[in-house]
């Protein structure tokens, strides 16, 4: 595997389900990000992890719970989601959090909440 | 506050035409970085280019070229002799050294359709 991978690629869940999104980066980076991309909206940064520590949480509802067990893996745990949470969830990684660091993105998980 | 504006929501061209995607940015940082990403229908954002604010030299990579002009706060992207495979959404993004670190501010994207 190379670059940034995400699983699953597609997920359909009910509002009462609990599921997790997984992201893995093979680039040796130490910062990872979760973004949400809804139809007709700009990309929204959700969480930033640096050296496995959460350094940014942009007012994301608690039904989204991130986890970063090591610098290569990032999870997004989902529970009791709402239909408006249906979106493309993108993971990215970069080397450090200094400005100018290029973020490399995974292919995304297309989430549908019924 | 930082802002990136991509005024062209959708562009449609015929194969082999040249096309320019506009990007205008706002920032109070003196050191900042500009990026272009391509998002094909598969969903992945593919990194195309990174440019820092001190380097105004234009860049060419194959059929792609970028025109950075600080005087007009613009970082436009031109595809020469477009191909059907260029069809995608293209995003311009900005990060500022003083105010945002690695945090990217994205434009709303331009949907490019190249017809055969």
Structure token pair of residue A43: 């990309």
Per-residue DSSP letters for B31-98? SEEEEEEEE-TT-PPEEEEEEETT----EEETTEEEEEEGGGTEEEEEESS--GGG-EEEEEEEEETT
Express each pLDDT in B33-79 by its tens digit.
999 999 999 889 999 999 999 988 888 889 999 999 999 999 999 99
Tell me the three state secondary structure of residue A85: helix
What is the predicted pLDDT for the residue at A1?
A: 64
Cβ–Cβ below 8 Å for B95 and A92: no
Q: Give A33 or B57, the one with higher predicted confidence.
A: A33
Express each pLDDT in A47-103 by its tens digit.
998 877 777 777 899 999 999 999 899 999 999 999 999 999 999 999 877 777 899
What is the predicted pLDDT for the residue at A56?
A: 76
- Per-residue pLDDT, averaged over A110-114, amounts to 94
Q: Are the C-beta atoms of B16 and B81 separated by less than 8 Å?
A: yes
Which residues of A are less than 8 Å from B96 in CB distance?
A: 99
Tell me the three state secondary structure of residue B111: strand
Using beta carbons and an 8 Å cutoff, which residues of A are at the interface with B?
31, 41-43, 45, 48, 56, 88, 90, 92, 94, 96-108, 110
- Select from A97, A99, A106 the Cβ nearest to the Cβ of B32: A99
């Amino acid at each position: 595997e190379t670059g940034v991978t995400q699983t699953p690629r597609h997920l359909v869940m009910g509002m009462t389900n609990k599921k997790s999104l997984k992201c893995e980066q093979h680039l040796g980076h130490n910062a990872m990000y979760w973004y949400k991309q809804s139809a007709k909206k700009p990309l929204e940064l959700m969480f930033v992890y640096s050296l496995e520590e959460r350094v940014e949480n942009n007012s994301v509802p608690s039904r989204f719970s991130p986890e970063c067990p090591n610098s290569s893996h990032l999870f997004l745990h989902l529970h009791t989601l709402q239909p408006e949470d249906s979106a493309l969830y993108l993971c990215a990684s970069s080397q450090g959090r200094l400005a100018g660091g290029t973020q490399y993105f995974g292919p995304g998980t297309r989430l549908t909440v019924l | 506050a930082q802002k990136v504006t991509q005024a062209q929501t959708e562009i449609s061209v015929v194969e082999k035409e040249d096309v320019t995607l506009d990007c205008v940015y706002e920032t109070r940082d003196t050191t900042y970085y500009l990026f272009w990403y391509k998002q094909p229908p598969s969903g992945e954002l593919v990194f195309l280019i990174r440019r820092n604010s001190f380097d105004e030299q234009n860049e060419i990579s194959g059929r792609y070229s970028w025109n950075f002009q600080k005087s007009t706060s613009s970082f436009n992207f031109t595809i020469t002799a477009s191909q059907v495979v260029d069809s995608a959404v293209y995003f311009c993004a900005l990060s500022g050294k003083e105010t945002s670190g690695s945090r990217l501010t994205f434009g709303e994207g331009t949907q490019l359709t190249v017809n055969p």
